């Protein structure tokens, strides 16, 4: 059982399924008006090299619910790897906080933080992975369908951090995975190989034509075409990705039970239209709200005293 939450490839399906059950339990306690103070007196340090709404708020509110608190450490203050080395930041924070959550550009920075810290490190998004989002999405899917096994998630667009963590989450939770990306923007083959390794029964389908990709899908998922750090490529990307827009015409080609998901922020009129994002088939806001409950499960599991839960 690893101490850090950096990449779903490093976790076992059994442990991740346990985390999901914990998220369900914590959400139900919260709905009933009681939050056990499982992290009373503990502090989470949150390093952000990039902007955030959902990740920052869900971790901070989550720590408050659990009786602890979180400190926001912006890039200007910390200067991770610039003002101070990653190794020194990790060791200094380890003396004062009981957990570190970091949103970084270079995935190696969260790996190095974890290597040097003596407290758990959580990847709150790197250029390569967004494991917190993908775990949380499994909560949303299991609430909506009553299960995760046997469903098919179809991801449309950039083979980015979200696509990578979703592919791995699908393998862990028994979903089949279709991905449709423009040439040159495909998901790393290494990620698909990891997904195969996690669950050889997962059916992974690469489908270049988005119209064909959505056939047989239970979940249509998209993300921005321009991730944080890729702003200079925006014009070119918006041109290339246009046929992958999740709009009413594409949704009409999917089975009638298919729902729409997006990790947000959404660039409306680009990767998704208003009509689809705001349709009855869209789960995007319950999906965003679930970040809170999934994050709490990760925090309790990593920072809590074993045996309390």
**What is the footprint of ligand CP within residues 254-273 (CB under 6 A)?**
263-265
Cα distance between residue 294 and residue 46, in whole Å: 17
Measured from the CB atom, is 119 or 154 closer to ligand NVA? Answer: 154
165 lies in the binding site for ligand NVA (CB under 6 A): no
228 lies in the binding site for ligand NVA (CB under 6 A): yes
Report in angstroms how near the CB of residue 57 gets to ligand NVA at its nearest. 13
Measured from the CB atom, is 161 or 181 closer to ligand NVA? Answer: 161
SS3 content of the chain, % helix, strand, coil (to 5): 45, 15, 40
Residue 53 binds which entry of ligand NVA, ligand CP, none, CB below 5-8 Å type-dependent: ligand CP
Among 49, 55, 140, 222, binds ligand CP (CB under 6 A): 55
Binding part of the chain for ligand CP, among 23-31, 51-59, 175-183, 249-257 by CB under 6 A, reads: 51-59
The angle that helices 161-173 and 13-31 make with each other, rounded to 10 degrees, is 100
Sheet holding 99-103, edge to edge: 69-74, 43-48, 99-103, 121-123
What is the contact mask toward ligand CP in residues 122 to 141, using x (rule: CB under 6 A)?
---x-------x--------
**What is the footprint of ligand NVA within residues 140-159 (CB under 6 A)?**
none
Are 128 and 162 in contact by the 8 Å Cβ rule? The answer is no
Report in angstroms how near the CB of residue 179 gets to ligand CP at its nearest. 19
Size of residue set near ligand NVA by CB under 6 A: 9
Query: Which residue in this structure is represented by tokens 């450490």?
Result: 73
Query: Which residue in this structure is represented by tokens 């610039």?
Result: 82
295 lies in the binding site for ligand NVA (CB under 6 A): no
223 lies in the binding site for ligand NVA (CB under 6 A): yes
Are 272 and 248 in contact by the 8 Å Cβ rule? The answer is no
Cα distance between residue 303 and residue 169, in whole Å: 22
**What is the footprint of ligand NVA within residues 20-79 (CB under 6 A)?**
none
Among 178, 202, 227, 290, binds ligand NVA (CB under 6 A): 227
Nearest Cα residue to 176 out of 158, 150, 195:
150
Residue 224 binds which entry of ligand NVA, ligand CP, none, CB below 5-8 Å type-dependent: ligand NVA
Cβ contacts of 147 within 8 Å, gap of 6 or more: none
Cβ contacts of 277 within 8 Å, gap of 6 or more: 260, 262, 266, 268, 284
Report in angstroms how near the CB of residue 91 gets to ligand NVA at its nearest. 28
263 lies in the binding site for ligand NVA (CB under 6 A): yes
Residue 14 binds which entry of ligand CP, ligand NVA, none, CB below 5-8 Å type-dependent: none
Report in angstroms how near the CB of residue 101 gets to ligand CP at its nearest. 11
In the bound state, the residue with its beta carbon closest to ligand CP is: 55
Are 272 and 266 in contact by the 8 Å Cβ rule? The answer is yes
Q: Is 163 exposed, middle or buried (0-12, 13-18, 19+ CB in 10 A)?
A: buried
Are 62 and 300 in contact by the 8 Å Cβ rule? The answer is no
Neighbours of 240 (CB within 10 A): 17
Question: Which spans of this chain sit near ligand CP (rule: CB under 6 A)?
Answer: 52-55, 125, 133, 263-265
Question: Which spans of this chain sit near ligand NVA (rule: CB under 6 A)?
Answer: 125, 160-162, 223-224, 227-228, 263
């Amino acid at each position: 059982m690893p101490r850090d939450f950096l990449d779903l490839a490093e976790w076992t399906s059994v442990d991740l399924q346990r985390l999901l059950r914990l998220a369900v339990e914590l959400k139900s306690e919260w709905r009933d008006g009681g939050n056990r103070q499982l992290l009373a007196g503990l502090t989470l340090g949150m390093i952000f090299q990039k902007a955030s709404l959902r990740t920052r708020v869900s971790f901070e509110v989550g720590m408050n619910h659990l009786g602890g608190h979180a400190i926001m450490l912006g890039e200007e203050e910390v200067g991770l790897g610039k003002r101070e080395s990653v190794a020194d930041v990790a060791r200094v924070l380890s003396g004062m906080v009981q957990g570190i959550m970091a949103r970084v550009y270079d995935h190696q920075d969260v790996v190095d933080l974890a290597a040097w810290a003596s407290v758990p490190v959580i990847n709150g998004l790197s250029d390569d992975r967004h494991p917190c989002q993908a775990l949380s999405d499994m909560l949303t899917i299991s609430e909506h369908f009553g299960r995760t096994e046997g469903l098919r998630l179809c991801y449309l667009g950039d083979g980015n951090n979200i696509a990578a963590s979703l592919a791995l989450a699908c393998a862990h939770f028994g979903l089949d995975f279709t991905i449709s990306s423009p040439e040159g923007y495909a998901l790393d083959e290494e990620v698909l190989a990891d997904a195969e390794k996690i669950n050889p029964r997962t059916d992974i389908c690469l489908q270049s034509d988005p119209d064909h990709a959505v056939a047989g899908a239970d979940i249509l998922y998209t993300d921005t075409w321009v991730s944080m750090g890729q702003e200079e490529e925006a014009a070119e990307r918006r041109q290339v990705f246009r046929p992958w827009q999740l709009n009413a015409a594409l949704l009409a080609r999917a089975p009638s039970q298919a729902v729409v998901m997006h990790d947000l922020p959404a660039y409306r009129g680009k990767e998704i239209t208003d009509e689809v994002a705001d349709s009855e088939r869209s789960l995007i806001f319950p999906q965003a709200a679930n970040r809170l409950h999934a994050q709490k499960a990760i925090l309790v599991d990593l920072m809590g005293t074993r045996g309390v839960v």
